[in-house]
Amino acid sequence: MRADTAIMTQVNDKISTRIDGDIGFICSNNPPVNALGQAVRAGVVEALEALNADPAVKAIVLYCEGRTFFAGADITEFNKPRVPPTIQEMILALENSPKPVIAAIHGTALGGGFETALGCPFRVAIPSAKVGLPEINLGLFAGGGGTQRLPRIIGPEKALEFVLSGKPVSAAQALALGILDAVEEGAPDAIGAAFARRVIDEKLTAVPVSRRDDKIAATRADPSAFDALAAKLTARSKGQEAPAANVASVRRSFTLPFDEAMAIDAEANRALMAGSQSRALRHLFFAEREAARIPGLPEGAKARDVAKAAIIGAGTMGGGIAMCFAGAGIPVAVIDTTQEALDRGMERVRTNYATSVKRGSISQAQMDERLALITPAVDRAAVADADVVIEAVFEDMAVKQEIFADIEKRVKPGTVLASNTSALDVDEIASVLERPGDFVGMHFFSPANVMKLLEVVKAAKTSPEAILTAMAVGRRIGKMPILSGNCDGFIGNRMVAKRSAQAERLLQQGAFPQQVDAALTNLGFPMGPLTTNDMSGLDIGYSIRKRRGTPFPIADAIVESGQLGQKTGSGYYRYEPGDRTPRPNPQTEALILETSKRLGIERRDMSESEMVERLLFPLINEGARIIEEGIALRPSDVDLVWINGYGWPRHLGGPMFHADEAGLPHIVARLRAFAADTPGDPSLQPAALLVELAEKGQGFSEWQKSRAAN
């Protein structure tokens, strides 16, 4: 579209302008995602002034080079002093421009980027573009006028759904909602110019969005539907600040004049940004991107292509893993020893899919497509053309070793051989292999088709290519892969063991199950640790403790009384038939009292804050050891393990983030007190790294940054 006559002017290193006939263009080039940093904002304002001052220009197209239209405010500027012009000021300049501005969108116009487009009188996009206000995912709301302008285009109720979901919508959906004026194939500047032509020739005008009233008038007259919707959509966001702040801000769109609402928005968003919840969510945004980087691998090491997969074991885990591959469009063989086991496994997969169809999360056609990608087989020969084979059979070393020794002979060279073990030594499994470099742990979490966490476990001889392949295929099948070294329990379960030990001790010393669980659910955890144990089955932990000779007197007594959790109708709690609501269990409470007595422990009242610290600080301490031993690459990886696999609420950032917020000196002092109180448990002594950082007045986050910089 760039005519030869167009003269390009570089406004600054991010923004340029050109004029082609009577159309002016403002172009941003700020890789990777055209974030609206200060130079971009200042450049856009300056370019706009220049084009408005040029009498030849009749309409202006705003577009971006590279992979996307502005993908939002520059998140890295959030912690720094603001340098004008602000996004709000830039958007007002666009909205009040004497010459009409057409935003021409490609890629993802998100947050401040979408708000910029909403400020332009006209908006066009290419079909693959998406627009959205994902600020809620960062603990904020769209403070650049998104929560004020969007309701004026699509009505407050739809706007509320839009901002609370945080999910982008497609260009076609945006067009249908009236957010876009046109969707056309072509280069962004070309479709922008074509629309500008129409604006000029047909003398199209648009009332600036901030001055429109028609879509908000009905809600202003009767907000009851809005309020009911707000209550429904925020019912499950207990303890989170951002959902309520989004509701309040959208509400201001129909209760206050635009300028007043904007002024309050600015204050409210500033407060959210300074708060710990938004800090936590921003921390996770960067943590998720950082987790894919594996330092220290040889240059040129690459993931291998994965076109086909095979799973050994058609149990709940194997079937769930197969569903992940099928969901990503990768053909997968599921292999088990008997037809009966396979049939049972495939039936479970079918039932899971049918439930998703019923819920509307996938269509019947998608279910059929996915099922067609899963091939059941009784013969291990089905691994022959797989690029990755994942073993998901029960935890028995001899069985796993036999499987790997056998399939190694049946696969192509270079096929990655992975074990889903959660409890066995990956080096011992790999010891039977002739090509241990191709072996890696891939520890999925149950239910594997739902849980996002994938611990990729590096055995001593795992090759860089096998690590990279497991990490890459993990992302492809929708998981959050985190690299872990080999140790008992890897990252997550090794830490959770410390929490379980504390939960047991709290029960011995005076608490009842509902108090222990409430300490964490009141913080925002979806489920307490003892309810979780009841759900998974108490026999699992029992048999591990027996094997290791580490008794938990109360937990063991519950199992020995025949109560195994939900599956037997009672455990820490009692369950009514067909109902998973945990209710106080008098039989277990009696067992708890008896056990305390037998152990000679005088039961005492405990505050909720004591229980929280006892449940969380020892696991944080173990996290610090896992980091200092190099089992986890970095503190933020440990946070992601807990967020994606153990129900740690996102707005609380994960254990190592929480440690920084609580203050490491406080944690060290509390751990020393716990250790003094429990002489038999040396693991409660604060980890060396924790003590070192506390003494230096640093946090894990600073430590991670300083290591990344070196």
From 110-118, 185-193, 572-580, 595-603, span contacting ligand COA (CB under 6 A): 110-118
Interface with ligand COA, residue 119, by CB under 6 A: no
Minimum Å distance from CB 290 to ligand COA?
7
Alpha-carbon distance 478 to 558, whole Å?
38
Is the alpha carbon torsion for 222, 226, 229, 231 positive or negative?
Answer: negative
Which of the residues 443, 651, 658, 666 is marked catalytic?
Answer: 443
Placement of tokens 């070793």 in the chain: 401
Interface with ligand COA, residue 112, by CB under 6 A: yes
Q: Which is nearer to ligand COA, 110 or 691 (CB)?
A: 110
Interface with ligand COA, residue 134, by CB under 6 A: yes
- Residue in 45, 110, 332, 559 binding ligand COA, rule: CB under 6 A: 110
Window 32 to 51, contacts with ligand COA (CB under 6 A): 32-33, 35
Q: Nearest Cα to 249, choosing from 116, 135, 138, 110?
A: 135
Interface with ligand COA, residue 150, by CB under 6 A: no
Binding mask of the shown chain, residues 635 to 654, with x at each position contacting ligand COA by CB under 6 A: --------------------
Q: Which is nearer to ligand COA, 31 or 329 (CB)?
A: 31
Minimum Å distance from CB 628 to ligand COA?
25
| Cβ neighbours of residue 25 closer than 8 Å, sequence gap 6 or more | 6, 17, 18, 19, 60, 61, 62, 63, 189, 192, 193
| Cβ neighbours of residue 102 closer than 8 Å, sequence gap 6 or more | 59, 60, 61, 62, 120, 121, 122, 123, 124, 192, 195, 196, 199
Q: Which is nearer to ligand COA, 268 or 429 (CB)?
A: 268
Taking a C-beta distance cutoff of 8 angstroms, is the pair 221, 254 a contact?
no
Minimum Å distance from CB 291 to ligand COA?
10
From 73-81, 299-307, 432-440, 635-643, span contacting ligand COA (CB under 6 A): 73-81
Q: Which is nearer to ligand COA, 131 or 615 (CB)?
A: 131
Taking a C-beta distance cutoff of 8 angstroms, is the pair 242, 278 a contact?
yes
CA atoms within 13 A on the CB side of 32: 0
- Residue in 6, 39, 75, 362 binding ligand COA, rule: CB under 6 A: 75
Minimum Å distance from CB 256 to ligand COA?
22
Interface with ligand COA, residue 543, by CB under 6 A: no
- Residue in 135, 408, 438, 660 binding ligand COA, rule: CB under 6 A: 135
- Tokens, residue 501: 């030990």
- Tokens, residue 151: 């309701």
Taking a C-beta distance cutoff of 8 angstroms, is the pair 425, 490 a contact?
no
Minimum Å distance from CB 484 to ligand COA?
21
Give the sheet arrangement for strand 309-312, strand by strand: 374-377, 332-335, 309-312, 388-391, 416-419, 439-444, 453-457, 480-484
Minimum Å distance from CB 76 to ligand COA?
5
From 89-97, 108-116, 382-390, 515-523, span contacting ligand COA (CB under 6 A): 108-116
7-12 CB contacts, 8 Å cutoff, 24+ apart: 9/50, 11/43, 11/46, 11/47, 11/50, 12/39, 12/42, 12/43, 12/46
From 31-39, 91-99, 146-154, 173-181, span contacting ligand COA (CB under 6 A): 31-39
Alpha-carbon distance 525 to 502, whole Å?
17
- Tokens, residue 327: 């969901």
- Tokens, residue 391: 């073993």
CB atoms within 10 A of CB 235: 9
Window 604 to 623, contacts with ligand COA (CB under 6 A): none
Q: Which is nearer to ligand COA, 35 or 284 (CB)?
A: 35
Q: Are strands 573-574 and 130-132 parallel, antiparallel or unpaired?
A: unpaired
Interface with ligand COA, residue 74, by CB under 6 A: yes
Is 106 among the catalytic positions?
no
Interface with ligand COA, residue 111, by CB under 6 A: yes
Give the alpha-carbon dihedral of 239, 242, 248, 249, to 10 degrees.
180
* Per rule CB under 6 A, count of chain residues that contact ligand COA: 18
- Residue in 11, 57, 64, 138 binding ligand COA, rule: CB under 6 A: 138
Taking a C-beta distance cutoff of 8 angstroms, is the pair 312, 393 a contact?
yes
Give the alpha-carbon dihedral of 636, 639, 641, 646, to 10 degrees.
-170
The amino acid at 432:
V
Q: Which is nearer to ligand COA, 32 or 630 (CB)?
A: 32
From 66-74, 300-308, 437-445, 505-513, span contacting ligand COA (CB under 6 A): 66-74
Window 308 to 327, contacts with ligand COA (CB under 6 A): none
- Residue in 12, 76, 128, 550 binding ligand COA, rule: CB under 6 A: 76
Binding mask of the shown chain, residues 286 to 305, with x at each position contacting ligand COA by CB under 6 A: ---x----------------
CB atoms within 10 A of CB 312: 27
Minimum Å distance from CB 17 to ligand COA?
24
Interface with ligand COA, residue 441, by CB under 6 A: no
Q: Which is nearer to ligand COA, 135 or 504 (CB)?
A: 135
From 18-26, 133-141, 634-642, 663-671, span contacting ligand COA (CB under 6 A): 133-141
Taking a C-beta distance cutoff of 8 angstroms, is the pair 320, 449 a contact?
yes
Taking a C-beta distance cutoff of 8 angstroms, is the pair 377, 334 a contact?
yes
Q: What are the catalytic residues? A: 443
Footprint of ligand COA (CB under 6 A):
32-33, 35, 68, 71-76, 108, 110-112, 134-135, 138, 289
